[in-house]
Amino acid sequence: MLAWVLLFLPPVSSAQRSEPVFSSITKSILPPNYENNPTQLNYGVAVTDVDGDGDLEVFVAGYNGPNLVLKYIQDQKRLVNIAVDNRSSPFYALRDRQGNAIGVTACDIDGDGREEIYVLNTNNAFSGRATYSDKLFKFRNGRFEDLLNDDINEHRDVANRMAGRSVACVDRKGTGRYAIYIANYASGNVGPHALIEMDELASDLSQGVIALSNVAEEAGVNKFTGGRGVVVGPILNQILPDVFCDNEYGPNFLFRNNGDGTFTDVAQQAGVEDPMQHGRGVALADFNRDGRTDIVYGNWNGPHRLFMQLNNRRQKFKDIASQKFSMPSPVRTVIAADFDNDNELEVFFNNIAYRGPSANRLFRVSRREHGDPQIEELNVGEASEPEGRGTGAVATDFDGDGRLELLVSHGESAAQPLSVYKVLQGTSNSWLRVIPRTKFGAFARGAKVVVYTKKSGTHTRIIDGGSGYLCEMEPVAHFGLGKDVATGVEVYWPDGRSVVRLLEPSDLNSVLEIQYPRDVEVTPTAQTECGHGFALNEKGRCTDEDECTRYPFACPLDRPVCVNTYGSYRCRAKRRCNQGFEPSDDGSACVGQVAYFGGTRSFADRKWSGLCFWLLLPHVLRPGLL
């Protein structure tokens, strides 16, 4: 009887069966109305301290209406637009009613310790030349003003008048003064990617003169493409910021920072060109916690990618997206964050209802000890928004309870108000939020923050300088800890400086501000617990423990080759490859050794890399020689 009943029930996916993650709080925190949450076309969203009071605000790019600056009013539990329609307001210029704003990012470009706000406008153009320039707002003379409108910058003709999409901040030389990366959408040979920064020699900060230059050509990023998503952070470099762009009608760019502020596109070698797909939202995260940055992005009505950086020196990536995860959708912003504080990352896909409903989706990507992360779809709950014309989204903790809220913007094909969600799950989990500062005291966009835990190894975050799609996340490294305990935190600034700080139990569930180290580094005196797979070195740092050396018999006889990895180790079967080649990570193929690609071997060697055949050794080698 029961079997009959079950037979006629509609199929239910595991995602629908699980508990909903998001619940709408729009009605209480940001009810739609003309002043605070107008029904208009919105696009990108950035999180920064707009009013300089130390709390974070949300800047929303308005397309057919004003830009909004939403401030959380603690005692009212409401978000209120402080960029009011009043010419006397210090935030009036930010509204910029005339601009068709889509991309927005904030960072300190002049080293005054406060973030400027860059807004990309696309007036009357899909690609190529636009009729209205971008804006770079700086707080001075008691209000926000557009630096690109200063006489000196008008004369230098630096303002971007191209139709672009995403913008992001990059401290390309580690000076603490940021450049704005502008992913323009070229029309033929009009509108290359641009990079605008302060020209230190031509500026006179004591006189308030900030001269700007487009340095895209000298930096090597002035390429023509259909620019879409941009993300910045140490991807291939351990500390220096690299830039990844997922483009439309052309291959993606992976700009590796050469160490001198110039970049080389290595997308092809890295395997992330994806030339047939049209990229949109993108985010960086270390999903498998091996200390290497992974890239997740959505393709417009194409397969979404979860590119894990391989744990070797080849700087290659492999897409581990499951069928469900990669399922094509009209995707916009992509966010990677630990929404339920269970110490595993989630990926949120914001889809735009386009020729029919298209629900947003949420996946949890969980680390596994010896293998690729596990991907499971979660029940996104009320943030599903099947009819939502999603364009941008950010995750930030408005109310300071240590749990991320989600704000989603809508537009393009229908005017819709913003929506805000809270997370229903993981309320008893621990968390830690870390805010590193530049030497000037501004948010250290692009800095890398590593947290050591007792049980779950190391967790890495990159302070966002622009990601999602057209968006920029909060300048905070947000760590969910579940029931685990954080024992230490380490911050790496883009110039290579770093500090280690040991954590007390009282540091859990708090926000840590980490200042730029002024003096010679102080070695912590107390002992920190580094957690499984890590050991304390003489400098008081948690470093990877080489299990293969420490435990010579760590691996079983059928998989005798021990390979040390960051925080762990792997065992694989013995393979034999021809000279110049070595077994791939999983031992299933032979690939060229990276050393031979340095230029000493002839090009002819490379073409054989795919044709190499390995041999299974018929005998087990004598112990001691492995």
Ligand X SMILES: *[C@@H]1O[C@H](CO)[C@@H](O)[C@H](O)[C@H]1NC(C)=O
Residues that bind Ca ion (CB under 5 A): 49, 51, 53, 55, 338, 340, 342, 344, 346, 397, 399, 401, 403
Which value, to the nearest 10 degrees, does the dihedral of the CA atoms of residues 532, 534, 537, 539 take? -100
Residue-wise burial string across 578-608, b where 16 or more C-beta atoms lie within 10 A, e elsewhere? eebbbbbbebebbbbbeebbeeeeeeebeee
Nearer to Ca ion, 255 or 325 (CB): 325
Nearer to ligand X, 19 or 85 (CB): 85
Q: What tokens does 188 get?
A: 């033929």
- Interacting positions 331-350 with ligand X (CB under 6 A): none
Indicate whether 89 belongs to the interface with ligand X (CB under 6 A).
Answer: yes
Stretch that binds ligand X, among 82-90, 194-202, 370-378, 461-469 (CB under 6 A): 82-90
Cα-only R_g, the chain: 25
- Helix, strand counts (H, E) of the chain: 9, 43
Q: Taking CB within 5 to 8 Å according to partner kind, which of ligand X, Ca ion, none is near residue 403?
A: Ca ion
DSSP SS3 for 577: coil
Indicate whether 323 belongs to the interface with ligand X (CB under 6 A).
Answer: no
- Interacting positions 353-382 with ligand X (CB under 6 A): none
Least distance (Å) between residue 88 CB and ligand X: 4
Least distance (Å) between residue 53 CB and ligand X: 16
Q: Taking CB within 5 to 8 Å according to partner kind, which of ligand X, Ca ion, none is near residue 401?
A: Ca ion
Q: Taking CB within 5 to 8 Å according to partner kind, which of ligand X, Ca ion, none is near residue 49?
A: Ca ion
100, 64 Cβ separation under 8 angstroms = yes
Residue-wise burial string across 323-361, b where 16 or more C-beta atoms lie within 10 A, e elsewhere? eebbeebbbbbbbbbbbbbbbbbbbbbbbbbbeeebbbb
Nearer to ligand X, 85 or 260 (CB): 85
Q: Taking CB within 5 to 8 Å according to partner kind, which of Ca ion, ligand X, none is near residue 545?
A: none
Helix H or strand E encompassing 26 = helix 26-29
Least distance (Å) between residue 240 CB and Ca ion: 29
Q: Count CB atoms within 10 A of the CB of residue 4.
A: 7
Indicate whether 141 belongs to the interface with ligand X (CB under 6 A).
Answer: no
Q: How many residues does the chain have?
A: 626
- Interacting positions 258-317 with ligand X (CB under 6 A): none
Q: Taking CB within 5 to 8 Å according to partner kind, which of Ca ion, ligand X, none is near residue 340?
A: Ca ion
Least distance (Å) between residue 51 CB and ligand X: 13
DSSP code per residue over 264-317: EE-HHHHT---TTS-EEEEEEE-TT-SSS-EEEEEEBTS--EEEEEPSSTT--E
Residue given tokens 């000298």 in the structure block: 218
Least distance (Å) between residue 91 CB and ligand X: 10
321, 329 Cβ separation under 8 angstroms = no
Least distance (Å) between residue 94 CB and ligand X: 14
Nearer to ligand X, 87 or 313 (CB): 87
Nearer to ligand X, 89 or 515 (CB): 89
Nearer to ligand X, 86 or 600 (CB): 86
Stretch that binds ligand X, among 19-27, 86-94, 130-138, 492-500 (CB under 6 A): 86-94
Least distance (Å) between residue 86 CB and ligand X: 4
Q: Taking CB within 5 to 8 Å according to partner kind, which of ligand X, Ca ion, none is near residue 344?
A: Ca ion
Burial class (CB in 10 A: 0-12, 13-18, 19+), 221: buried
Least distance (Å) between residue 89 CB and ligand X: 5
Q: How many CA atoms lie within 13 A of 480 on its CB side?
A: 22
Nearer to ligand X, 38 or 174 (CB): 38
Nearer to ligand X, 86 or 579 (CB): 86
Q: What tokens does 171 get?
A: 């401290």
Q: Taking CB within 5 to 8 Å according to partner kind, which of ligand X, Ca ion, none is near residue 86?
A: ligand X
User: CA–CA distance from 20 to each of 340, 424, 429 (Å)?
Assistant: 11, 7, 17
Give dist(CA 340, CA 157) in Å, integer.
Answer: 47
Q: Taking CB within 5 to 8 Å according to partner kind, which of ligand X, Ca ion, none is near residue 544?
A: none
Nearer to ligand X, 86 or 206 (CB): 86
* Residue from the set 17, 88, 368, 553 that interacts with ligand X by CB under 6 A: 88
Number of residues forming the site for ligand X (CB under 6 A): 3
Give dist(CA 135, CA 146) in Å, integer.
Answer: 6
Q: Taking CB within 5 to 8 Å according to partner kind, which of Ca ion, ligand X, none is near residue 89?
A: ligand X
Q: Taking CB within 5 to 8 Å according to partner kind, which of ligand X, Ca ion, none is near residue 377?
A: none
Nearer to ligand X, 139 or 363 (CB): 139
DSSP SS3 for 151: helix
- Alpha-helix runs per DSSP H in 182-233: 216-219
Q: Taking CB within 5 to 8 Å according to partner kind, which of Ca ion, ligand X, none is near residue 260?
A: none
Least distance (Å) between residue 287 CB and Ca ion: 11
Least distance (Å) between residue 92 CB and ligand X: 9
Residue given tokens 């140490």 in the structure block: 234
Nearer to ligand X, 91 or 178 (CB): 91
| Residue spans of beta strands (DSSP E) within 529-587 | 534-536, 542-544, 561-565, 568-572, 575-576, 581-583
Which of 539, 533, 489 is CA-nearest to residue 511?
A: 489
Least distance (Å) between residue 116 CB and ligand X: 22
Which of 384, 289, 385 is CA-nearest to residue 345?
A: 289
Q: Count CB atoms within 10 A of the CB of residue 322.
A: 15
Q: Taking CB within 5 to 8 Å according to partner kind, which of ligand X, Ca ion, none is near residue 484?
A: none
Q: Taking CB within 5 to 8 Å according to partner kind, which of Ca ion, ligand X, none is near residue 88?
A: ligand X
Nearer to ligand X, 88 or 506 (CB): 88
Nearer to Ca ion, 49 or 474 (CB): 49
Which of 69, 208, 87, 78 is CA-nearest to residue 147?
A: 208
Give dist(CA 610, CA 578) in Å, integer.
Answer: 12
Least distance (Å) between residue 396 CB and Ca ion: 8
Least distance (Å) between residue 90 CB and ligand X: 8
Indicate whether 86 belongs to the interface with ligand X (CB under 6 A).
Answer: yes
Q: Taking CB within 5 to 8 Å according to partner kind, which of Ca ion, ligand X, none is near residue 55?
A: Ca ion
Q: Which residues bind ligand X (CB under 6 A)?
A: 86, 88-89
